[in-house]
């Protein structure tokens, strides 16, 4: 029995061991299966993260390209002339800059000019830029101070013919184009009292012209500048007060301009002219400058042969003022014509040509003394 019981117990223990071994085996198998189940999702996660990361990188690159426009770096090279036309805005200019290869993209330029706070400061004109330059540098070069300009200074007292010659020389445009433009005065907006003549109304000053400015536009600008000077001087009202037309005042001013060596002498020379015009009996002006104008020449004293000219500009032969101005007077001469000095002088003589000193006389005897002084000074 004990034997049998022992056998039975052994069987029971074996069965328990067998069942225990089975549970432990199952646990080991589950552990092995669990390790495999963890690695697979991990690999999937890594792969997914890689895909998402790669997509994010390329997405970032795309987004960066979309938000940051193409732009060159540096100052660029090779000159390009860009013209900003009247009425164009920053976007219009940006498109032209991109088209000509100055900037890499129009948007780079609009961003740069907006950041600089200059979107509304672009001025019409021509500018020299370079190909392949950064948008920021393009903005800098498009400052109005960098516009291409031709600076022309015209001296006071130049005749119209000399004015046209100077304009042609300093702008590089054909002289014949200026001569033709000067004849077509209908488009120059001359004042009505000018009687369609440009002489006397092409105001002497310093002008800045765009390279594409035409001769007609230049002359129109000079007429406009004259009208500003006339308004400032009160020409129309002043002429009426003196009993003359504005055209006559400008004619007087042109003679003053031609005869005076110094600004301070102008009011006195003006008085001599008025005293002669108003003298009783009438006196001829006897101005050498008007004779030289008639003969299209220059000098200080007209010869006897020159004084025989039958031109209406010969004030030795004809009474009163010549038909029109003999030069283009400046501000000082116009002021002197409107505001003559007080005095009874009838003559003036540049007694010392080297120093431009002018002296005045009221009588024939005084005049003779001044002439002798001139001769002694080599005049």
pTM of the model: 0.72
DSSP notation for 245-283: -HHHHHHHHHHHHHH-SSGGGHHHHHHHHHHHHT-SS--
Could you tell me if 137 and 220 lie in one domain?
Answer: no
Query: pLDDT tens for residues 309-361?
Result: 999 999 999 999 999 999 999 999 999 999 999 999 999 998 887 888 899 99
- Say if 326 falls within a structural domain: yes
Indicate if 118 and 192 belong to the same structural domain.
no
Averaged pLDDT for residues 138-166 = 94
Do residues 184 and 238 both lie within one domain? yes
Domain that residue 321 falls in: 165-343
Judge if 141 and 217 occupy the same domain: no
Domain identity same for 319 and 187: yes
Query: Does residue 278 share a domain with residue 205?
Result: yes
- Structural domain includes residue 231: yes
> Does one domain contain both 243 and 320?
yes
Task: Quickly count: other Cβ atoms within 10 Å of residue 378's Cβ.
Answer: 8
Residue 308 lies in a domain: yes
The secondary structure of residue 341, as a DSSP letter, is P
Cα–Cα distance, 379 to 376 (Å, whole number): 7
Number of independent structural domains in the chain: 2
Q: 92: domain CATH number?
A: 3.30.1490.480
Average pLDDT, integer, range 108-124 = 94
Residues 204 and 241 in one domain: yes
325 falls within a domain: yes
Task: Looking at the structure, tell me whether residues 169 and 318 fall in a common domain.
Answer: yes
Concatenate the DSSP letters of all residues of 45-99 into one string: HHHHHHHHHHHHHHHHHHHHHHHS-----S--EEEEEEEEPTT--HHHHHHHHHH
Residues 50-78: tens digit of each pLDDT: 555 555 555 545 555 557 899 999 999 99
- Return the structure tokens found at 36: 């495999």
CA angle 230, 233, 236 (to 5 degrees): 60
Query: Average of pLDDT values for 154-160?
Result: 97
116 is a domain residue? yes
Residues 326 and 209 in one domain: yes
User: Is 108 in a helix, a strand, or coil?
Assistant: helix
Q: Is residue 192 domain-resident?
A: yes
Whether 362 is covered by a domain: the verdict is: no
Helix (H) or strand (E) holding 28: helix 2-67
**Is 101 strand, coil or helix?**
coil
Beta pairing partners, 77: 131
201 and 272 belong to one structural domain: yes
Lookup: tokens for 105: 């993209």
- Residues 237, 175 within the same domain: yes
Say what percent of the chain tops pLDDT 70: 82
Cβ atoms of 233 and 334 within 8 Å: the answer is yes
Whether 30 is in a domain gets the answer no
Q: How far apart are CA 274 and CA 63, in angstroms?
A: 83
């Amino acid at each position: 029995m004990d034997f049998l019981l022992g056998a039975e117990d052994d069987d029971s223990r074996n069965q328990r061991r067998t069942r225990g071994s089975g549970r432990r085996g199952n646990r080991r198998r589950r552990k092995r299966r669990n390790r495999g189940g963890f690695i697979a999702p991990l690999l999937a996660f890594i792969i997914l993260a890689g895909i998402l990361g790669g997509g994010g990188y390329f997405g970032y690159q795309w987004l960066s390209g979309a938000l940051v426009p193409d732009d060159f770096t540096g100052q660029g090279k090779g000159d390009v002339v860009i013209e900003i036309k009247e009425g164009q805005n920053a976007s219009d200019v940006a498109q032209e800059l991109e088209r000509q290869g100055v900037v890499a993209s129009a948007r780079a330029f609009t961003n740069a000019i907006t950041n600089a706070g200059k979107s509304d400061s672009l001025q019409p004109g021509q500018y020299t830029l370079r190909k392949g330059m950064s948008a920021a540098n393009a903005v800098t070069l498009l400052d109005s101070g960098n516009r291409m300009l031709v600076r022309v200074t015209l001296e006071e007292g130049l005749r119209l013919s000399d004015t046209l010659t100077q304009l042609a020389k300093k702008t590089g445009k054909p002289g014949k184009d200026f001569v033709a433009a000067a004849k077509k005065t209908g488009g120059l907006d001359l004042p009505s009292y000018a009687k369609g003549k440009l002489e006397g109304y092409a105001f002497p000053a310093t002008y800045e012209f765009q390279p594409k400015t035409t001769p007609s536009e230049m002359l129109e600008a000079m007429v406009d500048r004259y009208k500003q000077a006339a308004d400032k001087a009160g020409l129309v009202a002043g002429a009426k007060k003196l009993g003359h037309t504005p055209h006559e005042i400008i004619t007087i001013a042109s003679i003053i301009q031609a005869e005076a060596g110094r600004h301070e002498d102008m009011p006195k020379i003006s008085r001599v002219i008025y005293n002669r015009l108003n003298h009783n009996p009438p006196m001829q002006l006897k101005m050498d400058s008007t004779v030289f104008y008639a003969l299209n020449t220059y000098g200080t004293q007209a010869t006897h042969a020159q004084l025989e000219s039958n031109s209406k500009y010969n004030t030795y032969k004809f009474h009163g003022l010549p038909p029109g101005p003999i030069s283009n007077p400046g501000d000082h001469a116009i002021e002197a014509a409107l505001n003559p000095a007080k005095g009874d002088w009838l003559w003036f003589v540049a007694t010392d040509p080297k120093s431009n000193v002018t002296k005045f006389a009221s009588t024939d005897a005084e005049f003779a003394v001044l002439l002798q002084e001139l001769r002694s000074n080599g005049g």
